Structure 1
Amino acid sequence: LPVEWNAFNASSLPILFGTGLDYSIHVIFALRREKGNVRAMQAGIGKALLFCGLSTAAGFGSLAFASSEGLSSLGMVCALGITINMATAVWLLPWWWRAVDPTGLGRRPDRV
């Protein structure tokens, strides 16, 4: 994917940071709710995140066909980045969660 950085695709970095953070927060809360059960998390919020991530990536991916080179590169970078964010949150984050916190409960405050 030979993409030269420009102002358009550099503006994708906050978008990608935000979606990655958002997807990860949803997964962490789902893992806490399901007490670390990865299959239950993937059956619930995992499906929603897959649909959300793929539809967003498809929307940005459609910009790849724009006649403007900057807009086209924005679409390619966002589509690829959002797909990676979604896959990381749904498949790699639960694996990491189990390695770091085998109980699946995480640290919770005594009071809210």
Structure 2
Amino acid sequence: MSMAEFKGKVKNVQDTPFGYTISIIGGKWKMVIMYLLAENQTVRFNDLKRQIGAITYKTLSSQLKELEADGLVSCKEYPQVPPKVEYSLTDKAETLLPILEQLCEWGAKNQHH
């Protein structure tokens, strides 16, 4: 459904497809995490933390858990010492990549205006 189809009918934005999408990828870090996983395919936790920089370990961990619960990130654990955990995007997340690409294109066009 398009935004026009909801015009005047929305009682609660969370009940719309837009609201659902924002609930999944909204917030400060989720799209950043998805962007880095899309760029790097598979990334270990500490590498993600280093690439993001300003995020705390606790926040990164909770954001990854939420993305995993929503079916956008898969987590593979290797039984070794020290533990090795790798994160990657799921097929469901791959369907969001064109939208992330459009956001990048918009930023490229409008960043210096």
TM-score by length of 1: 0.29
TM-score by length of 2: 0.28
More helix per residue? 1
Q: Which structure is higher in RCO with an 8 Å CA cutoff and minimum separation 6?
A: 1
